[in-house]
Amino acid sequence: MSYKREECGVFGIWNTGNPAEKIYFGLHSLQHRGQESAGMTTTDRSSLKHFAGMGTVSKVFRKSSMNIIPKLSEETFGGIGHVRYSTAGASMRDNAQPMVAAYSQGEVAVAHNGNITNADILREEYESTGSIFKTTSDTEILIHMLAKPAHINKTDTIAHVMRHLDGAFCVLYLFPDRIEAARDPRGIRPLSIGKSQDGAWCVASESCAFDAIGGKLVRDVEPGEIVTLSDDGLSSRFFIEPGSVKPSHCIFEHVYFSRQNSRVFGENVHIARKNFGAQLAIEHPADADVVIPIPDSGTASAIGYANQSGIPFDMGFVRSHYIGRSFIAPTQEMRDLAVRLKLAVIKEAVEGKRVIVVDDSIVRGTTTRGKVRDLRAAGAKEVHIRVSCPPLKFPCFYGVDFASKEELVANRMDMDALCRYLEADSIGYLSVDGLLSCVNLPPENYCTACWTGNYKAPTHRARSKDAMGSSHKMLFQIEDVR
C-alpha cells in the first residue's frame, strides 16, 4: 500500500515505577500508527514534565538517551504519550502531542487519536468569543473546551465537553492527579484498558502496547465511556446513555492499520486478516502455482488464501529493513529504482509460475502496477491480483488520510479497465459482505464508509481533505530543522 498512514496512537499509565520507560515502550509498539512526531508528558502529582519532537519514538527520545527518559521518570509515577501522523498540510513541530497548557484549574496535557468532524465549527465558535489558536491541530480545541468557565461549572466537565464533539475521537487528558480517557459514542477508533506487570492501570490505542510493557489487555474502553485512572484505581462513567448509539467500528483497523498482535474490537487482527484471505479465495479463486503476499501487510491474508485454496504459499518479495528517508534522486529513472529498493523480487520463487499476489488494498494503482511489472520481468507466467478488502472509493472523515477521491483508482475505472491498467491477468477484490462475514460483531456495528459511502457519524463535509487547504487559518509554518 502506498497511501499515507493514518491517525495517531495514544498511551497512558498511572501509578507505576519508571513511567517514562513504559510510555516509551508503549509508544514504540504503536509506532505504526504515526511516525511524524512523538511526545510524552509525565506528572509528579503536582506538576507536569514534557518532551516532544519530530520523528519516530526512538529518534525523538534517543538523542538524549541517558537523559530525557530518566528525567521524565524522576519523581513521577504516571503520564501519557502520543505518536502522530500529520493529516493536515505541512508537518509542524508545534502540532506534536501531547499538547500542554495552563488554564484556570492548573496544568493539563492532551493526547488525541481521531478526527473531530465539527472541529472547524467549534474553532470558529471559540475564536468568535476570543480564543486564540497556536496550532492547526484539532487537539487544541479539546483544551479550550475544558477551560471554558461555563464548562468548568458543570458537574462533569469532561463528559460535557465530549458531548459537544462529533466524529472519531479517543482523548487522553492528563491532569497532575489523574488521567481521564474518553472514546467517542460510536467507538470508531480502538481504545483499550490494560494492566502492567506491576499492576498499574493503562490505556492504549491497541492492546499490543500492553504486551510491549509485559502487561495484559483487560477490556476495551466502551463507546461513550470515560475512564479515570487515579490513585483510587480505575473508575468509569458514560457521557451518553450506553447503547443509545449504534457502534461503528472502523473495519479498516483490521484490514490495515492495527498491528497483527493487537486485539481490536474484540478480536485478533492477524486472525481476521487470515479470514479475509480465506474468504477472498472463495470469492475469487484462480488457477495458479503459488500465492505470495506484498509483505508485511498482505502476509496474513496470503496465508489465509493459500490455506483455503490449497495453492502453496511462498515469499516472492524481500522487504528491506533499512529504508529510511533517502536522498531525493534527481532523475525519474533513479526515483523508480528507489521504490524498488523497498521490495525486491525473488526471481527464483516466481519464474515460470502462475502467481497470485495478495495485497491489503489498492489506492492509486501505480505501486501495484510496478510490482506486476517486476514479477513479469522476473519471469512470472501469469499475475493474479487479489485484494483483501473492497475497492476504496470514498474519503474517510474519521481520521484516515487516503488519497483524494479523484486519485483513488477504483473511482476512475471499472474492474476490467483496472485489470488492464495494472497489467494483471485477473483481479479480485473481497466483497463488503464477505469481509463483514469474517469478523465477530454484527455487520451493522462497523463503519464501511470508505467502500460504501455510508457515513454513520456526522461528517460536516468542510473537514474533508479536499476542503482543508482553503482555510484562512492555516498557518504556513516552516518545519523545525534539526
Q: Which residues are annotated as a binding site for Mg(2+)?
A: 297, 359-360
Q: Is 344 in the site for a second copy (CB under 8 A)?
A: yes
CA distances from 236 to 178, 183, 265, 350 (A): 13, 12, 19, 55
H or E stretch covering 181: strand 178-183
Span of 132-140, 241-249, 387-395, 411-419 interacting with a second copy by CB under 8 A: 132-140
Beta bridge partners of 343: 319
Question: Which residue's CB is nearer to a second copy, number 323 or number 467?
Answer: 323
Q: What is the Cα–Cα distance from 142 to 418, expressed in whole angstroms?
A: 43
Contacting a second copy (CB under 8 A), which of 242, 266, 287, 334? 334
Q: How far is the CB of 96 from a second copy (least distance, A)?
A: 10
Return the C-alpha torsion angle 264, 270, 274, 280, nearest 10.
60
Q: Give the CB-side neighbour count of residue 384, counting CA atoms within 13 A.
A: 21
Q: Is 99 in the site for a second copy (CB under 8 A)?
A: yes
Q: What is the Cα–Cα distance from 98 to 473, expressed in whole angstroms?
A: 22
Mark 437-466 with x for binding to a second copy (rule: CB under 8 A) and - for no binding.
------------------------------
Q: How far is the CB of 62 from a second copy (least distance, A)?
A: 6
Contacting a second copy (CB under 8 A), which of 255, 288, 345, 383? 345
Phi, psi of 79 (to 5 degrees): 170, 180
Instruction: Examine the residue annotation and report whether 389 is marked as an active-site residue of this protein.
Output: no
Of the residues 8, 170, 208, 438, only one is catalytic, namely 8
Q: Is 401 in the site for a second copy (CB under 8 A)?
A: no
CB 101 within 8 A of CB 61: no
Q: Is 310 in the site for a second copy (CB under 8 A)?
A: no
- Restricted to residues 70-89, the positions that interact with a second copy (CB under 8 A) are 70-72
CA angle 62, 142, 113 (to 5 degrees): 50
Contacting a second copy (CB under 8 A), which of 235, 244, 320, 366? 320
Question: Which residue's CB is nearer to a second copy, number 116 or number 409?
Answer: 116
Q: Is 50 in the site for a second copy (CB under 8 A)?
A: yes
Work out the end-to-end distance of the chain between its first and last CA atoms, rounded to an integer number of angstroms: 29
Q: Is 57 in the site for a second copy (CB under 8 A)?
A: yes
Q: What is the Cα–Cα distance from 83 to 24, expressed in whole angstroms?
A: 10
Q: Give the CB-side neighbour count of residue 204, counting CA atoms within 13 A.
A: 36
Contacting a second copy (CB under 8 A), which of 168, 171, 191, 212? 212
Question: Which residue's CB is nearer to a second copy, number 128 or number 155?
Answer: 128
Q: How far is the CB of 273 from a second copy (least distance, A)?
A: 10
Any idea which residues carry the catalytic annotation? 8
